[in-house]
Structure 1
Amino acid sequence: MGKYCHVCGEKVLVQSDKALGVWVKDLLSNVWQLEGRLIRSMKLLLFKPGKYASDYARGARVKYIKPLNIFLIVNLMYFLLPTYDTFQTTLNNQVTAMPYSAWARTVVHNHAANESLSIEEFEKAYNAKTSEISKLIIIALALMLGVIIFLCLKQQGLYLTDGFNLALQFLSFYLLIMLLLLPGINRQLEIWTDLDLLRSDLQYSLLALITSAVYLAFELRPWRGAKTYLFLTKVLIIMVSFYPVVTLYRLLLFGATVIAL
């Protein structure tokens, strides 16, 4: 009855709704709304991570972009732009520096023999392919990290889906700041001043660790509970768990790359 469906709210189309002017108006309106929600979400994600996380968890979602959508946007930038490839692992590292390296070496030799390739030829093909795949399956990191966050904070009323959203938010920040913005600034400094802030892997790792820990503490602050020391201990546990999570991700990356070759 009337201009709108009483069940779904859909407007009944009339001939004037198909005019070019209406189409352009709708297009601009949708773009404006999306841009406004994206800018609002990104500002909170970067500068008020706890508010964005808590608002979304309690159901105030209309004015924000979903954490998954923000992650996909940032991940697309990560895929297309030159970055500091923290999550990419070369074949040499896979077969020498990982807990599963002995098994990985066996897989590499068998696969190279089956394909009649030398180890050098296999390594070249592997490193080219793994760079692409590492950026495609990085969402697996969010799922694994989300489980850890949920287990640490479920006593504060956190649901597993909340854990996934918090992990997506955290990784969006990490990709945007530590792997896109910071390397970009560093490249410009190298051009202008010959100063390389990321020359040392240890220096970069310490900076990434401290920045990530501070951000995570602010992001999870709405679920801190009554005892601050207990909350900070949980933040530390989540940060420490990032190592086995990344190791598992690299194992997944190794398997996916070998299968894709």
Structure 2
Amino acid sequence: MYKDSNREVNTCPSCQTKFEGKFCHNCGEKAFHESDYRIKKFVEQTVDVFTHFDGKFVRSSKYIFAKPGFLAEQNMHGIRVKYAKPMQIFLLANILFFFITHLIGVTDYTPNIGDEKFGGISNYYIFKWLEPVDEWIVKQIEALTDIKLAHFGLSTDEFSKRFWLNSYIYSKSFIILIIPFSALAIYLFNKKRFKYFSNALVFTAHFVSFQLIIFSILSIFRYKYDINLFKPFLWLFYHKGTQPVTDFFFGSSFELVNMIYWIPYLFIAFRKVFPEEKAILTFVKTYFIARILFFITFVLYKKLLIVLTLLLMH
């Protein structure tokens, strides 16, 4: 560091660029001073890291719930420094999800042996013609299961227990795969409005974070205290008079339960990101997108997780 015409000019220790001010304009390195070696400075930096991150996360988490779509809209306009990064929010949501599901010991995101038989693209009326594809996938997974069962030389019950323990662990690690698959679906529905695929990734990361946090909270009531908060809705939509209509629009009661909070969130978020779009069009798109995301999350992801668990289990 030296003086030049009464101005303080620094030499960057990282890239050797000459610069004025506190930060190197070439690589962003902070100007170094001897005082930076003091313990007081170390403590100040440590406190700043935690308070700065905490402030960003708390602010961002609040918007995830209070203003769906707000963070994605801000990100699309280049306003990012004030908020936690999308994957930071997802990471902490996943930690919460892992902790609570571990405490409870059960999660709907973890498949068991044989779950590949449930759910398929042909379950949807317009894709009934793809039933042979679903059957082929099930047969391939069953064949892989038989190979692994023979390899370990365990009884069916012992193998199922080992599979579930591995699947339970992998379900927390591989859950990130839901984001790119879901983002692709969201992007294809809004290709003319999302300028870049990364915009859809940010939007989806926020939605999946919301989804995991809500699921974690609901699981405490459902599995820890045996309280089904959706019981009134199930009674309303699945009694004798309404069940045929409900079956047509939402399928299983499990799908309906998720749609009850997925659809409102997605609708509000899309309205925030695309305010110029007609509300009725946004609602129709939201309905189809929500059902596609359900398929990706609880059918495609779970089948993929079964295959990954079989290949990686030990």
Asked if these proteins are the same fold (TM beyond 0.5), I'd say yes
Q: Deviations over 1:218-246 (max 9, x none)?
A: 11112254322222221112112124323
**One-letter code aligned to 1:47:** A
Residue 36 of structure 1 corresponds to: 55
The secondary structure found in structure 1 opposite 2:80 is coil
Q: CA deviation at 1:90?
A: 0.9
The range that moved more, 1-10 or 206-215, is 1-10
When residues 133 and 156 of structure 1 are mapped into structure 2, their CA distance, relative to the original with a 3 A threshold, is same
Please list every run of 5 or more consecutive structure 1 residues that lacks an aligned counterpart in the other structure.
Answer: none
Residue 259 of structure 1 corresponds to: 311
Alignment of 1:1-261 (within 5 A): 1-2=9-10, 4=22, 5-82=24-101, 85-95=107-117, 99=134, 100-177=137-214, 179-186=215-222, 190=225, 195-197=227-229, 205-221=255-271, 222-246=273-297, 247-261=299-313
Q: CA deviation at 1:122?
A: 1.4
Please list every run of 5 or more consecutive structure 2 residues that lacks an aligned counterpart in the other structure.
Answer: 1-8, 11-20, 121-133, 235-251
When residues 11 and 42 of structure 1 are mapped into structure 2, their CA distance, relative to the original with a 3 A threshold, is same
User: Which structure is larger by alpha-carbon Rg, 1 or 2?
Assistant: 2
When residues 115 and 232 of structure 1 are mapped into structure 2, their CA distance, relative to the original with a 3 A threshold, is same
**One-letter code aligned to 2:197:** L
Q: Deviations over 1:22-41 (max 9, x none)?
A: 11111112211111111110
Q: CA deviation at 1:148?
A: 0.7
Aligned pairs, how many? 255
**1:238, 1:101 → 2: CA distance?**
25
The secondary structure found in structure 2 opposite 1:226 is coil
When residues 195 and 17 of structure 1 are mapped into structure 2, their CA distance, relative to the original with a 3 A threshold, is closer
When residues 6 and 174 of structure 1 are mapped into structure 2, their CA distance, relative to the original with a 3 A threshold, is closer
TM-score, reference length from structure 1: 0.88
**2:202, 2:290 → 1: CA distance?**
17
TM-score, reference length from structure 2: 0.74
When residues 251 and 207 of structure 1 are mapped into structure 2, their CA distance, relative to the original with a 3 A threshold, is closer
